[in-house]
Structure 1
Amino acid sequence: MYQKILLAFDGSPDGREALVQAENLALACGATVHLLAIIDPSESMLIVEAMSFIPDNQRFVVQTVLDEGVKRLRRAGCTATSELKYGKPAEQIILSATDISADLIVVGHRDQGTLARWLNGSVGESILHQPPCSVLVAVKSEQGASNVTPIQQRKARGKG
């Protein structure tokens, strides 16, 4: 069914829910999961004396989150890779899905009110306007109890 899954991953609770759902699909289908994190320069840049730059610590934090996601998938038995890109999230997700010939894009669902969604936009909704493949928007269950264990807690348990 699916051979290549692109997971837009930011390490947030919504992103971790998407990670779990991508993991379950990958295990069921024998698919490779490609984790993608995007730093949006328009939201991340510091401007100092007419020079703009993205702080190194932000790159480090995002790369650490990606690495933890890949480790979790590999421990579960999945084949996983990761990539960090810069740009507008929806555009980068579509470009990456096209570049790797993804069969499925998985994104988390961030619960926002109507006004916040209008002001901030929705990456998932933007992707749906020109999807290169199927799209799964991972939503937490109705009961509110997530089936996701935070990455740090899972890592700590494995050491014991």
Structure 2
Amino acid sequence: MFDIVLVPLDGAPQRAHVIDLAARAATPGSSTLHLLCVVDPSYAQPPGDPIRIEPSLREPGSIQADGLVCPYAVEQTGDAERILAAAAERLTAHGFAVERHVRAGAPGDVIVDEARRIAADVIVMGHRHLSRLRRWANPSTAGEVIEHAPCPVLVQTRDGGGHA
């Protein structure tokens, strides 16, 4: 079993299978699972966003440090936090230590950098089944991570419908 497990998650239905695989690769009580959600840097909420102090200013979106309203930043960061919270709840119920991380950037780069930063023993992630044309237009994040990861990568290939 692995002690430090990095688990990148997104909004795909497959994430339940990824969480299950991560739990099988770890040991309750001794492993730490680092849950990671990567957001588009254009819509990332700044750390310590002052909007969290003054909720009335968030209508209809977030006011950034420059005073501009950006509802997509609130939406994307909120979605990431909800995905991580749901996964953390599920894993802590089974006795795992969990840390949650929201990072901004290119997903493949952020995942590899985070694996190095936490000295991950393994990365457990999903893989989307795309056509050749869609894969050409949008290269595989899992493929990029496998290519550059500083540790082994376990890839869950089952989709959200349970197909292998």
Calculate the TM-score normalised by the size of structure 2. 0.75
Deviant stretches of 4+, over 6 Å: none
Q: Secondary structure at the match of 2:150?
A: coil
CA offset at residue 29 of structure 1?
A: 9.1
Q: Which residue of 2 aligns with 1:19?
A: 19
Could you tell me whether the CA contact under 8 Å between 2:29 and 2:96 is conserved in 1? no
Q: For 1:123 and 1:113, locate their aligned partners in 2 and report how far apart those are by CA, in whole Å.
A: 15
Query: Is the counterpart of residue 82 in structure 1 residue 92 in structure 2?
Result: no
Q: Distance in 1 between matches of 2:139 and 2:69?
A: 24
Match of 1:59 among 66, 72, 77: 77
- Post-superposition offset of 1:22: 0.1
Cross-structure match for 2:162: 145
Q: Is 1:123 aligned to residue 141 of structure 2?
A: yes
Structure 1: how far apart are the matches of 2:11 and 2:19? 9
User: Could you tell me how far 1:52 is from its partner in structure 2?
Assistant: 9.6
SS of 2:18's equivalent in the other structure is helix
Contact kept? 2:28, 2:96, Cα under 8 Å: no
Number of aligned positions between the proteins: 138
Q: Which residue of 2 aligns with 1:155?
A: none
State, as a whole percentage, how many aligned pairs show the same letter.
30
Equivalent residue number for residue 10 of structure 2? 10
Structure 2 residue 128 is the aligned partner of structure 1 residue 110: yes
2:41 is the counterpart of 1:41: yes
More helix by share: 1
**Distance in 2 between the 1:109 and 1:129 partners?**
14
Q: Kindly state the Cα deviation for residue 136 of structure 1 after the two structures are TM-superposed.
A: 0.7
Give unpaired runs (5+ residues) of structure 2: 45-67
Q: By how many angstroms is 1:4 displaced?
A: 0.3
| 2:91 maps to which of 46, 52, 73 | 73
Structure 1 unmatched runs, 5+: 46-50, 147-160
Give the CA RMSD over aligned residues: 2.3
